[in-house]
Amino acid sequence: MTPQNAGLYQLNLRVPQGTPDGDQAVVLTIGGVASPAGGFISVHHGSGTTGVRSSAAPSSLETHSLQAPKLPVSFSPQQFPRLMQFPRLIEMIQNRNGATAR
Amino acid sequence: MNGQLPTKFQGVCVLVGSVRAPIFAVLSNRINFQATQVSASGTVAVQVVTNCGTSNELHSDPQSVTLQAAAPEFFYFQQTASGKNPIAAVNATTGKYVGTAGLLPGVTFAPASPGDVLTLYFTGGGTTSVRPMPPVSFRIKSGVLQGPHR
């Protein structure tokens, strides 16, 4: 869960080495229920800043698992405190919602 | 509102069963609200109430909604007619939004690279193993920080 934002979840993942360039589908499955198909992440070699690397094995989170037909992913919840900082994103989502109750 | 979502907003309430749901937004054709604590299966009736809390309350017909433990879906930067949607994601190292340049006007995007750590945003994850803490407030009285107060 994301602090201060009810209903907003976040997951952290590392883009696997060898992932090809292009729009890579990502599907999240929780308790056997998959997120709708169509969601993707754009990947392009050399475009990112891979300053944070880890050799740690991928972790799993109880009933939470990921299925990614084109983009195998792993994630470590709460591994990167910085990721809590996303006010701009919330603002964008709220703006798309129109008037909000906040 | 004091760190909590209202259960009545712009005169509108949403009843999930008999419980008022926390409301995020009320638009002319849509209401965004958070599901209340409900069972992980079966159905529940959902109603919209206008003039909520007044003598002129108007209730919509109840709509039966199917329940399940989770219904995950990513937030998207953009929803397209093709159904292929860029997931709302942030590069953990750079802080940049993940996507192709020009995806949204006025926002800087960069595609991810293999090895990058990303944060993806979604909803519908269901019950968490750790319950969110209720809002906590502190107050200063005579120069002394007092609290927490829930």
Q: Nearest-CA distance from A60 to chain B in Å?
A: 14
Residue numbers in B near A82 (CB within 8 A): 92, 95
Alpha carbons B52 and B102: distance in angstroms, whole number: 43
Closest CA to B48 of B65, B67, B63, B66: B63
> pTM value?
0.68
d(CA B109, CA B96): 6
Q: What residues of chain B lie within 8 A of the CB of A16, using their CB?
A: 114
User: Comparing C-alpha atoms, which of A77, A34, A72 is closest to residue B119?
Assistant: A77
Dihedral pair phi/psi, residue A27, rounded to 5°: -125, 130
Question: What does the block give as tokens for B14?
Answer: 């949403």
CB contact B11 to A (< 8 Å): no
- Per-residue pLDDT tens, chain B, 150 aa: give them: 666 789 999 999 999 999 999 898 888 888 888 888 888 889 999 999 999 999 999 999 999 999 998 999 999 988 889 999 999 999 988 888 999 998 888 888 999 999 999 999 998 888 877 665 554 555 556 655 555 554
Q: Do B114 and A85 touch (CB under 8 A)?
A: no
Run of H or E residues at B67: none
DSSP sequence for B79-96: --TTS-EEB-EEETTT-P
pLDDT, greater one: A52 or B115: B115
Per-residue pLDDT tens for A9-50? 889 999 999 999 999 999 999 989 999 999 999 999 876 555
CA separation, residue A30 to residues B33, B45, B68 (Å)? 21, 24, 11
Q: In what order do the strands lie in the sheet with A22-25?
A: A22-25, A39-43, B85-86
Task: Classify the complex by whether its ipTM is higher than 0.95, answering yes or no.
Answer: no
Residue of A nearest to B117 (CA): A14
The whole-angstrom distance between A59's CA and the closest CA on chain B is 14
Cβ(B88)–Cβ(B120) under 8 Å?
yes
C-alpha B58, offset from chain centre: 25
Chain B CA closest to residue A52: B93
Query: Length of chain A in residues, anyone?
Result: 102
Nearest to A8 among B3, B123, B126 (CB): B123
Residues of B in contact with A36 (CB under 8 A): 73
The answer to whether the CB atoms of A39 and B74 lie below 8 A apart is yes
Nearest Cα residue in chain A from B131:
A1
State the Cα–Cα distance between residues A36 and A43, nearest whole angstrom.
20
Closest CB to A97: pick one of B24, B97, B124.
B24
Residues of A in contact with B82 (CB under 8 A): 38
